[in-house]
Chains A and B, each alone.
Chain A
């Protein structure tokens, strides 16, 4: 193994890390909006991701049987669908459950955990316990070979692009749109925002639903990388939480940076040792850093 091989492996491993980063970031974004902005710990976030993934799968199945000619184009629409489904689910959950619990963040944790168990079981009964993966359109298959010995999978590139788009979109929306203004006002001072005529209840609901919708898109991205099962969401939930806390709640930039750091540490150390040890190492590092810097990497000063 010479130097250029090493380089290639390093690059590919780094790219694998980038794919992980993309999924983590999309998950983390939704969580950061919900947890960071509203203080709700959404343990069911992984299940919203699974909803997204399943809606891609269903869309793929439907197009396959109804309109095979349409296959190459269904994917972008399916991503939209994934967002919509997760959005609706999030809206419902907020309406039924979360809005009673805003004052008790630790109880939201338990309640949403219940939701997540319920959802998992629903997936299991209605879709089946087997892992499924949708038929991807042709243009997502294969890999891009810039030069000899270096293969970069196209689906990874696609996921990255999607992530960049969504992240950018969220950032812009949060800082430029009316909704973003309302959210930021509510976070900064709920009572005051209420007094100035912002409907904080509605803002909360919308924010929660949008966070869930983003989780749905994370699910869409996830289907291009791995297969989906009823429990695949819960595999990522703790990681996603660590991403958000590590980056500093309420700071989207921090979420981006920490997702990148965590994913890269994970995938690069995976190359040197076994997968489980890599995971242990990464998690221990995060816990240690969090112990030293509980507010996360990028803390936002909010007056309380």
Chain B
């Protein structure tokens, strides 16, 4: 765990501000991945709708920032000053009631966490009480993600449609686009991330964590022992949702916009993949997974704009094929030779935590885990005992 902090110190010193901002962006995904470790790795429930919570958090933050960015003075060329520009384009003449809470900062910040949690509670309470599990839960959360995307895109006047919310510049008069602000935001992000990891770690080591593991492996037995299984699951799911919300808010702050493309099914599954790559039992691994996944994507994207997702898609299913509990090494190997430089694959092997829980079913990997082709991983490789 210490190494994460080290990374947080080393990276700012070694990277320029643009890259650091990018890393900060990746770290926001790490929030989601950490949440997924709790839900999926420990709770044994796969959610494909984490992007929704990320999105709600992000939108909550973005709405606040947008309202601030569109005060009556700067927007006086519009037909109704004082409302966000996209509302003006959509002939909305007054601020919708939905937006009113976002005029105050504390309320917005609270909503960043509480709104995703509320939705998560609603969904998970209904599902877990009825003992919907596994595959069905995954599919339903996926449907929820789809609903949210369609809703956000459809209600252009209220949410900005496909474009999302753009031009988020200031927070309480503080310009978030300057370099120093970016540094501060990055550190806030890292700090929050470390806090959430510590929180999750604490939960994992407490009795609750043990219970979660027990539930994942033999749910009925826990139920017969007198525990209310569904409440624990609901709690974990809400926790993950809240974390995703924080991630989303940090995303909106750092990147300066929020759009429905971060809400839908594709990002949700991407996040699950980050989590899987990093090892679904390891909180720290989730962070690395998110960083690597995104870095890899961006690096490949930068190198060749054409056949991008081919290696990517291959990579993740190879990784998944070989290593039941994550730790995707050896990814780029089977791909067409178009990946030369980019650090596709090469996630650190997360042996310990994974192996500890490898149940018999997982012994199917055919290919022996060969070493990753390009071993230029950051110093995190040995940090497995977080």
Contact = CB atoms under 8 A, between A and B. Distances in A.
The answer to whether A and B belong to the same complex is yes
Interface of A: 35, 39, 41, 97, 100-101, 103-107, 109-122, 124-125, 238, 241-242, 245, 274-277, 279-280, 283-284, 286-287, 290-292, 294
Given A118-B309, A121-B309, A238 B136 contact: no
B317 A290 contact: no
Given A100-B365, A291-B132, A120 B309 contact: yes
Contact of A238 (B151, B153, B265, B365): B265
Contacts of A118: 309-310, 312-314, 317
Given A118-B309, A294-B132, A109 B147 contact: no
Contacts of A111: 317, 320-321
Interface in B124-178: 126-127, 130-132, 134-136, 138-140, 142-144, 146-147, 150-151, 153-154
A107 B132 contact: no
Contacts, number: 132
25 contacts: A41-B139, A103-B364, A105-B135, A106-B134, A109-B46, A109-B135, A110-B320, A113-B269, A113-B313, A114-B318, A117-B309, A118-B312, A118-B314, A120-B313, A125-B310, A241-B139, A242-B139, A245-B136, A245-B139, A276-B153, A279-B154, A287-B143, A287-B147, A290-B136, A292-B130
Interface in B346-367: 361-362, 364-366
B317 A114 contact: yes
B242 to A, nearest CB: 22
B324 interface: yes
Given A106-B46, A110-B317, 16 more contacts: A97-B317, A101-B364, A115-B313, A115-B317, A117-B313, A118-B314, A125-B306, A125-B307, A125-B310, A242-B143, A276-B153, A279-B154, A280-B147, A280-B151, A283-B150, A290-B143
Dominant secondary structure at the A interface:
helix
Contacts of A245: 136, 139-140
A116 B143 contact: no
Given A118-B309, A118-B310, A291-B127, A238 B317 contact: no
A277 B272 CA distance: 28
Interface string B203-226: 000000000000000000000000
Contacts of A242: 139, 143
B115 interface: no
Nearest to A119: B313
A274 B154 contact: yes
B273 interface: yes
